[in-house]
Amino acid sequence: MDINQIAQMAGVSRATVSRYLNDGYVSQEKRAAIRRVIEKTGYVPSRQAKTLRTGKTNVVGVIIPKINSASVSRMVAGITLVLNEAGYQVLLANTDNDEAREVEFLRLFSEKNQVDGVILIATVITDEHREAIAALPVPIVVLGQNVDLCSCVYQDDYEAMRGVAAVALRGAARPAYIGVFEEDVAVGHERRRGFLDACTEAGIEVPERAMRVAEFTVDSGYEQAEALLEAYPELDAIVCATDAIAYGTLACLREHGRAVPGDVIVTGIDDAEISQIVTPTLTTAHLHYKTSGVETARMLVGIMTGDDSIGRELKMGFEVVTRNSTR
């Protein structure tokens, strides 16, 4: 069954059926006749044919760094909510934190008629990323990093860490820090800067042996907390760049006989659901990940549809959530 057969059965021209399928003007009489034939035959227009006619795929490519991340899943939930309502399908590309694969996907989406737009949930932006983004023939919005090369939505990572670290420092004089690699400007550089500035404001100098770098995992949080206990045993707080790192830290302290928060204060950032049920419950900063996904998708749809009323850069807010891991 094709468009020519639909036209013949409905007693109209092929052009009339084409206008009907593309929401163009068709008289009520002819529209009813075409609809009856389509309902009777179950005809579904070819997506490829529609793409050739309109130049649009109604598909958005979403590049994510890690599929099993709580924060990423919240972002994707917000993204898909908006895109589905706007009539777009989502093509999800998981990179497993491989920046070379991110660039590969950006280049893939640059090929003709792949997608109508791209969302990149970014951890790092290299020169290769910049080149691939500049070559994209479709709009892109970066989520998670403040960039100057395209539209973006990002968290207030510096202030969020500064706020949660200030809570930790109310009951601590010898804080330690577990961050992530600084190439991730938002989570690595900005959160570390927020921690150090909070310490400076509290009149505390942090020795180099009190600083560690972890991966975005519970296991790595455990390992780096153990390294801190060996290198800086007098510590009385461990401020962590993420909740996942903090979960590993809590487990390590428990196994080493350090009470939280009696002996050591622990904080994180993200406010994942498990932060409300770990023992003790975790003091953290709530970042609006799902809402940031919603705003990113709205921004992209606005660009794709020519809506100039939607901004092209957005910094999200946060709330410090005080629970039982701090005094």
Distance (Å) of CA 316 to CA 39, 46, 68: 46, 40, 23
- CATH dotted code for 157-287: 3.40.50.2300
| pLDDT confidence tier of residue 47, bands split at 50, 70 and 90 | low
Instruction: Give CA–CA dist 176/242, Å, rounded.
Output: 14
pLDDT of residue 107: 94
| Percent of residues, the chain, with pLDDT higher than 90 | 77
Which of residues 96 and 45 earns the better pLDDT score? 96
Helix (H, G, I), strand (E, B) or coil at 180: coil
Per the CB < 8 A criterion, the answer to whether 210 and 235 are in contact is yes
**What is the location of CATH 3.40.50.2300 in the chain?**
59-155+289-316, 157-287
- How large is the average pLDDT for residues 303-317? 89
Length of the chain, in residues: 327
- How large is the average pLDDT for residues 153-172? 98
> Over 50: is that where the pLDDT of 36 sits?
yes
**DSSP at 276:** G
| 198-246 confidence digits (pLDDT tens) | 999 999 999 999 999 999 999 999 999 999 999 999 999 999 999 999 9
> Over 80: is that where the pLDDT of 22 sits?
no
Q: What tokens were used for 43?
A: 């005809």
What mean pLDDT, rounded, does the chain reach? Answer: 93
| 251-301 confidence digits (pLDDT tens) | 999 999 999 999 999 999 999 999 999 999 999 999 999 999 999 999 999
What is the bridge-based pairing of β-strands 175-179 and 151-154?
unpaired
Q: What tokens were used for 142?
A: 């970066």
Which amino acid makes up residue 93?
A
pLDDT of residue 55: 54
pLDDT of residue 310: 79
> Over 80: is that where the pLDDT of 308 sits?
no
> Over 80: is that where the pLDDT of 145 sits?
yes
Please give the CATH superfamily to which domain 59-155+289-316 belongs. Answer: Response regulator (3.40.50.2300)
> Over 90: is that where the pLDDT of 40 sits?
no
| pLDDT confidence tier of residue 306, bands split at 50, 70 and 90 | confident
How many CB atoms within 10 Å of residue 185? 20
Per-residue HEC secondary structure of 75-95 comes to HHHHHHHHHHHCCCEEEEEEC
Ranked by mean pLDDT, the top range of 30-34, 38-42, 195-199 is: 195-199
- Torsion-angle region of residue 162: left (phi > 0), alpha (psi -120 to 50) or beta? alpha
How many CB atoms within 10 Å of residue 19? 17
Per the CB < 8 A criterion, the answer to whether 312 and 153 are in contact is no
pLDDT of residue 52: 45
- How large is the average pLDDT for residues 71-75? 96
Which of residues 44 and 34 earns the better pLDDT score? 34
| Percent of residues, the chain, with pLDDT higher than 70 | 95
| pLDDT confidence tier of residue 4, bands split at 50, 70 and 90 | confident
How many CB atoms within 10 Å of residue 274? 15
Please give the sequence-ordered ranges of beta strands (E in DSSP) within 199-263, or none if there are none. 211-213, 237-240
